[in-house]
Structure formats: C-alpha cells, structure tokens
Structure 1
Amino acid sequence: MKRNHFIIAALFTISTLVISCKSSSEATTEKTVRSEQKRGGDRPNLETIFTQMDANKDGKISKSEAKGPLSKSFSTIDANEDGYISKEELKKAPKPSGQQRPRN
C-alpha cells in the first residue's frame, strides 16, 4: 500500500515538473518572438502591407494611405510617378537598410 502511494506521488511530481518546464519554454519563445518583431526582425510581406494600408481596396496605396517608412520613401517607390504605389512597384522597391536610428 505504501509503495502505491509512493509511485503515485512520484508520477505526480514528475508530471508537474514536465508541465512546468513546457510552460516556461513556451513563455520564453513567445517573448523572443515579440522582441524580434519590435526590432524589425519580422517584416510584413507584400500582401500584409496592402491589406493593412489599402483602405479603399483599389489595389494601390496612395500617399494618404501610406504609413511609416513607406510614407517617407513614397516618391522613391512610386516609379511611374502616378501618385500611387502598386504591388509591382513595391516588389521592385529598394529594401530597407536595416539600420535604425539610435534610441535616446
């Protein structure tokens, strides 16, 4: 009888440790992903950019719809100077250098 209690207690302890380690690992992974996104490690793809910025869903991004770095380099990306950025123009756009301003 004492042996059964010991085995049950040991199994309970082991399962608790395994669950605890898994939760800790998942939390660490989630923090790492969020940290990389803040640093720009996970840049949005072409479709995501258009989904987020093309407010009137006309398949083009106007100067008023553009946000962030896209807004700052709008005239450079708008190769045909029609006042809109198409998906094709965005594909051909120069990639960001990856250098960020120093934080104060």
Structure 2
Amino acid sequence: MNLRRNKMNLGLIIGLVTIMVSCTSNAQSKDRKDRDQKPPSVEEIFKMMDSDEDGKLTKEEVKGPLKRDFSKIDMDEDGFITKEELEKAPKPERKDPPNREQ
C-alpha cells in the first residue's frame, strides 16, 4: 500500500513539473516572437489608419504612439502626417523586457 502511494505521489510530481516546464517554455517562445516582430512599414501604417484614403493621416485617424507624438511627426504643422513626414520621423524607443537569468 505504501509503495502504491509513493508511486502515485511520484506520478503527480512528475506531471506537475511537466506542466510547469511546458508553460514556461511557451511563455518564453511568445516573448521571443514578440521581440523578433518587425514594426509595420509606412505603407502598412497608412493602409491600417488612413480611413478616408486621402494619403494623409489626421490626429483623429491615428492611434498609439502616432497619436501621442503627432505634433513631433507633423513637421510642417498643417494638421496632417504625410508618408514623407512619417518616414523622416524619429523611431520610437524599443522597450525590451529586462534580461532574465537562465
């Protein structure tokens, strides 16, 4: 009976360790994919955000960092971001996660 209980406990421990290792490796894989993903091109940004398809982005059309930094990117201060202005805009700083000891 005691041997049977020890085998069950060992099986449970092995199962839990397997689940924990699997979850950790999936999370690390997702972090790596997110980090390796390239930012969208100027063309892709305009396809996503230029809702009236006039070739210019207004503050109402943009979101995220473009909305926050609109005045910095709109160099001629006409209220629109053109493809040329976006190409010349400073790139946002990448926020990498802190290094983890492995």
- Report the TM range for the smaller structure's normalisation: 0.5 to 0.7
Q: Where in structure 2 are there 5+ consecutive unaligned residues?
A: 1-27
CA distance in 2, matches of 1:91, 1:100: 23
Aligned residue for 1:58, secondary structure, equals coil
Matched, 1:43 2:39: yes
Determine if the alignment matches structure 1 residue 94 to structure 2 residue 98. Answer: no
CA RMSD of aligned residues (A): 2.7
Report 1 or 2 for greater relative contact order, CA contacts < 8 Å, sequence distance ≥ 6: 2
**TM-score of the two chains, using structure 1 as the length reference:** 0.59
Residue 70 (structure 1) aligned to one of 66, 69, 81: 66
Aligned equivalent of 1:82, options 74, 78, 82: 78
Aligned length: 72
Letter in 2 for 1:79: M
- AA aligned opposite 2:76: N
Identify unmatched segments of 5+ residues in structure 1: 1-30
Kept in 2: contact 1:37–1:43 (CA 8 A): no
Aligned-residue identity in percent: 48
Runs of 4 or more off by more than 3 Å in structure 1?
34-41
Match runs of 1:24-35 below 5 Å: 32=29, 35=31
